[in-house]
Amino acid sequence: MLDRIDRNKNNLETIALEVVTLDVQDIPALGNILNYLGEMEGDSPAIDQPIFQELLQAIKGYIENLILGETADATPLEDGIDSLQTIYRHLSNQQEYKGDTSYVLEKLGFKKAESEDKEKEPEIEPEAAIEEEEKECTKSAGKDLSQEDQEILSGFVMESLESLEAVEVSMMDLEQYPGDIETINSIFRAFHTIKGVSAFLDLDRINMLAHRAENLLDKARSGEIRIDATVIDICLESVDLLKKLIVGVQNGLEKDVSLDIGLDIGPLVNRIDEIQEKADRIGDKPVGEIMIQKGEITPEELAKGLEKQKQEPDKKIGQILVQDKSVEPKSVVGALRDQKKTGRRHIDLQVKVDTKKLDNLVDLTGELVIAQSMLRQNRTILELRDQQLMNNLGQLTQITTGLQTTAMSMRMVPIKSTFQKMVRLVRDLAKNSGKQVKLKMSGEDTEIDRNVVDELYEPMVHMIRNSVDHGIGTPEERRKAGKDKSGEIHLMAYHQAGNIVVEISDDGRGLDKEKIIEKAKAKDLITDESKMSESEIYNLIFHPGFSTAKQVTDVSGRGVGMDVVKKAIEKLRGKVEINSSPGRGSTFIIKLPLTLAIIEGMLVRVGQEKYVIPALSILESLRPTKEQYSTVEGKGEMILTRGKLIPLIRLNRIFDAECDHNNPWEALVMVVEQNGNQIGLLLDELLGKEEVVIKSLGETLKDIKGIAGGAIMGDGKVGLILDMAGIWDLMMGVEN
C-alpha cells in the first residue's frame, strides 16, 4: 500500500503545481488533471480512508464543472487539493486522518448518496469534534529536528508573524470599509498561506485555526456573510491566538522542547463555526456578486438573470444581464477583470541574510572607511604629490563611500512595522476606556536603522497610552468642548537634517501647566517657576514617578512611563520635545539619528584630545566677550547668550586633560541642548563636521558618564564621542 501512496503522492504534487498555475479556460490542462486523478482513483480501494474516495469524486466533479463553464472559481479546487495533501501526509506516517473535510466538500458541491447518509455513524457534537481534532493536534513535532527543518520552521515563524501584523492593520481598514474586496482578499491570502505552510510542517493546531479563519474570510469575500464588529473581533482573536502558537514554535526551536504549547483553540474554533453555519447565501455567480458589490446591479436583478439562465444554460450571466439592459457591457468587462485579479504585487527578488552576517558586513565597511581616511591623511603619501596616486585615492574614496551607503541602507527598514503595531493598541485602548479614537498615520515608508526600530517600540507604546488615557476625552467631554466625539491621534515620520523625526500628536486636552507645576513643587523638583520656560515646565513630566493623574487606571497613572521614554530615547542618542496647547492637544517630537552605527557630529579639540559632539545636540558656537562671562553664587561659571545665562562646562576638568586657553573669551564656547536645558562647552578649536563610525569602548569603560563611545580619527588616534545626557548629570552631581 505504501508504494501506491508514494505514487499517488507524486501525482498529487504534480496536480498541485498544475492547479497553482491554472487558467480555468485552459481545457487541456484541466484534462491532464483529470487523468492524474483517474490514476489515483484506481488505487483508492487499497487505501482504507473513505474520505479519500469522497474527495476524489468531489474534485473530479468540480473540474468537470470548470470544463463546462458552470463555474470560474478555482479556489474550492485548491482547497480540495490541500486537503488531499494533508491526508497523504498522515497516510505516509501510517496515521489515521481524523480531520474535518465537510466544509471543503461543501464548497466543491459534493453530496453523499442518500443510502450513505442513513448508514453513517451517529453525529458527534461540535464540542466533541473539536476536542477530538485537538487531540490530533497535541502531537509534538519532536525535539530532534534536522538543521534544514529548523531553518524552514524559523522562516515560517518570521514570515507568519509579519503577515499577522499586516493582517491587524488590514482589519482596522476593513472595520472602516467593510465592502473593500481587495482588503478582504489580502487578509484571506495571509491566513491561506499560514494554513498551507503549517500543514506542510505538521503544525496541526496552527493549521486548524488558520483554516477556520480562512474559511470565514472566504465566506466574507464571496458575500455569504457580512463583515461586522463580531467578525472583526473574531479575526483579531484568531490573529492573537495564532501569534501565541507561532511564538510557541519559536520558543520550542530555541529551547529544544515541544513546538506545540497546547493552547486551547476549541472555544474560538466553535465560535467561527457558529458564524459560518448562520451564513446566508446571496448568490453563486462570482461576476454577479462583484457587480452587486460595486453597486452596478441589485440582488433582485441578479436573481432574475439567474432564473433566465436556467432557461438558456448556454448563455453566461453577463450576457443575459446586458441583454436585459440591467447593466452596461463595460461593467461586465470590468467585473470579469476584477475576477481575474490575483492581488499579487510585483516584488523585487530578495535573498534572506542572517542579521549577524549583515552586521559583520557593516562593521567591516566601517573599518574600510577608517582605513581609507587614514590613507588619505598619511603624510608620506601627501608629500609624494603624484597626480595619478591622488586620482586613484579619489576613486577609492568614491567607491568606499558608495559601499558604506549601500551597506548602511541594508540595515534600514521602513518604520511601518512599528506604526502598524500602534493601530491595534489604539483600538484596544479606546475600546477598554469607552472612548472613540482614530489613528492617522503618515510617513510609514520612512526608513530607519533596524536596531532603532526595535528600540523605538516601547517609548511609542507609553506615549500612545498616555494620549488615549490623559489626552483624549470621552465622547461627552469632547462634545461639551465643541469637538468631534471621535478623538484623533496622528503618527508621523519624516527625515530632517540627517535625522529621523517621529511626531505623536493628539487633539485632546493638552498638558495642564498648573497641575504640572503643583505636582513638581509637591515633589520638591522646583521652588519657583517664574523663570522657567514653557518647554522646561513640560519637561518636568519626564522625572521618575511624576504623574498628574488623579487616579490609577489599567492604562496609566502610576508615574511610570515618561521617564522610561526619556531614557530609551537618550539611549538611542536622540531627544524628545513637547509642544502643547490647552484644550487643543499635545505633540511629542522624537528626534533620532538614522543609524546607530554612524554618528554625524562636530569634531572639536581640547588641548591634545579630540572629541565628537553629536550634531543633534548643537545649537550654536561663539567666542564670548569678557562681559558675557560671569560667575553666579551656587551655580558656578555662566555665559550670557541671547539674553539668557547658561552654565559653562570645562571639558578639560571633566576628563582631566590639558587645554590651550583658561579664559573663556580666548577660547570657544559651543552651546548644546539637553532635555530642554542649554549648557556651554569650553573648547580650544572646532575641527569640522564629521561622520564617524562608532566603536564600543569595551566592558571596562562602557559605564563612564559623559562618553557614548569612541571613533578612530583619520590620523589613527581615538576620539571620544560625548554623551550630552551624561555630561548634564555630571554637572548636576547625579551619581551612576
Minimal CA–CA distance to 491: which of 419, 435, 424?
Answer: 419
Verify whether residue 451 is a known catalytic residue: no
Which listed residue (8, 207, 466, 499) is catalytic? 466
Minimal CA–CA distance to 590: which of 601, 579, 574?
Answer: 574
CA distance 503 to 422: 13
For 163-219, give the DSSP string. Answer: HHHHHHHHHHHHHH-TT-HHHHHHHHHHHHHHHHHHHHTT-HHHHHHHHHHHHHHHH
Verify whether residue 121 is a known catalytic residue: no
Residues 6+ apart with CB under 8 A from 91: 5, 47, 49, 97
Handedness of CA 84, 86, 88, 91 (dihedral sign): negative
Verify whether residue 490 is a known catalytic residue: no
Minimal CA–CA distance to 253: which of 139, 156, 135?
Answer: 156
Angle at 215 between CA 211 and CA 216, to 5 degrees: 120
Residues 6+ apart with CB under 8 A from 149: none
CA distance 476 to 482: 10
CA distances to 12, 73, 75, 345 from 19, in Å = 10, 12, 9, 20
For 269-328, give the DSSP string. Answer: HHHHHHHHHT-----S-HHHHHHHHTTSS-HHHHHHHHHHHHH-TTS-HHHHHHHTTSS-
CA distance 343 to 382: 60
Which listed residue (54, 185, 192, 296) is catalytic? 192
Q: How much is the CA Rg of the chain, to the nearest whole Å?
A: 33
Which listed residue (133, 214, 570, 609) is catalytic? 214
Give me the torsion for CA of 25, 31, 36, 38, rounded to 10°.
Answer: 130
Contact by Cβ (8 Å): 279, 285: no
Query: Within 10 A of 130 (CB to CB), how many other CB atoms are there?
Result: 22
Active site residues: 192, 214, 466
